[in-house]
Amino acid sequence: MKKIYERHNIPQNNTMLQEDVNFIIKNLNELPITQKELEKRNGNIWFIMGEYYFYLGKEINKLAAQCIDNGYSQMNEDWYDHRLHLLTDQAWSPFWTMSADHVMRKIPSDGKFLNLCAGDCFYDYHYYSKQASEVWCIDRNQTSNYIANRVHKKENMKIILSDIFNYQYPEKYFDTICIRGAIEHFNDKQMEDIINIVKHALKDNGWFVGDTPKATHDCVHHIKEFENEEELKQFMLKYFRIVETNSFKCGRDTLFWACQTFI
Ligand SMILES: C[S@@+](CC[C@H](N)C(=O)[O-])C[C@H]1O[C@@H](n2cnc3c(N)ncnc32)[C@H](O)[C@@H]1O
């Protein structure tokens, strides 16, 4: 990265580049900030530099998003690169933060957490690993595994490259098991197999949580979609005593569940 930083004149620590400061001071009218705003902040150089780098970063992020998007659209992968949410307004949608919020509420602090079909481990890195003591992420996709290891890895995260059906899970080990944006990728028999994995690996008072898009029947990767919240609830009630569901239209119609205590 050092050569890349040098090529673009990007400071690697918190020190401002004097050349940048001089350039910006000479070209203040180029920054999309009003003179009034600048006066209000007494022309504070940190504020001015922050805004300058913010707008620069926004343009570069847009470029990164376009390249990543072009790359994946050629590959027809069945997982999503969640870094796009951070890179471009176009990929900013409330449903991805709601998904994280929903799962977070069911992770006890310092609990052990398993994410089935974790994809790029974006959620695990930014959210779940900040609440749980251990986060286990399992997915069979090599590209998402590579990205997860490269940009979303932390000491308390275990990133496993495997088919979820071919892995030996520890017994009654996890406080929370999640499968988000993925249960719709499986048929009826496989869904039962997932429930059996949860039955084996979840502690007695643990939570099984997740979300799934309400049926649209327009995604080639989706095998079994739930038509509505009631259908999802009835499915979970076959296995659990406590079943909480809700649904939300936020960019897309999403169905959420949180279940506890096996029948
Ligand atoms: C739409 S992505 C969701 C990923 C992640 N949960 C997220 O929120 O971004 C579906 C994921 O399921 C994974 N997957 C599908 N079948 C699988 C299997 N049998 N074993 C492991 N992973 C599987 C795919 O590799 C993909 O990463």
Pick the more confident residue, 184 or 30: 184
Same domain, 12 and 41: yes
Mean of pLDDT values over 68-91: 86
For residue 85, being part of any structural domain is answered with no
**What number does the ligand 1 atom closest to the CA of 180 have?**
6
Work out which ligand 1 atom sits closest to the CA atom of 123. Answer: 8
Q: Which pLDDT score is estimated for 16?
A: 65
Q: Please choose from 117, 137, 152 the residue to mutate so as to test ligand 1's pocket, defined by most ligand atoms within 8 A of CB.
A: 117
Q: Are residues 130 and 229 in the same domain?
A: yes
What is the predicted pLDDT for the residue at 252? 78
Ligand 1 pocket: which residues have CB below 6 Å? 78-80, 82, 117-119, 123, 139-141, 144, 163-165, 180-182, 185
Residue 216 and residue 142 share a domain: yes
The domain of 170 spans 92-262
Report the C-alpha gap between 236 and 231 in whole angstroms: 9
Q: Which residues of 238-248 are buried (b: 16+ CB within 10 A; e: fewer)?
A: ebbeebbbebb
DSSP β-ladder status, 252-262 and 202-213: antiparallel
As a whole number, the mean pLDDT across the chain is: 90
In the prediction, which pLDDT does 44 show? 79
> Which pLDDT band holds residue 146 (cuts at 50, 70, 90)?
very high
Note whether 64 and 118 are same-domain residues.
no
What are the C-alpha distances in Å from 104 to residues 39, 98, 124, 222?
42, 10, 10, 25
Residue 82 lies in a domain: no
Q: How far is the centre of ligand 1, averaged over its atoms, from the C-alpha of 117 (Å)?
A: 4
115 and 242 in a single domain? The answer is yes
**Number of domains into which the chain is organized:** 2
Confidence tier at 92 by pLDDT (50, 70, 90): confident
Q: In angstroms, what is the span from residue 167 Cα to ligand 1's centroid?
A: 15
165/215 same-domain check: yes
Domain end (from 41, 73, 105):
73
Confidence of residue 26 (pLDDT cuts 50, 70, 90): confident
pLDDT in tens, 199-250: 999 999 999 999 999 988 777 788 889 989 999 999 999 999 999 999 998 7
Residue identified by tokens 């986060």 is 135
Res. 8: pLDDT tops 80: no
Residue 143 has pLDDT above 80, yes or no: yes
- 57 shares a domain with 129: no
- pTM (2 decimals)? 0.91
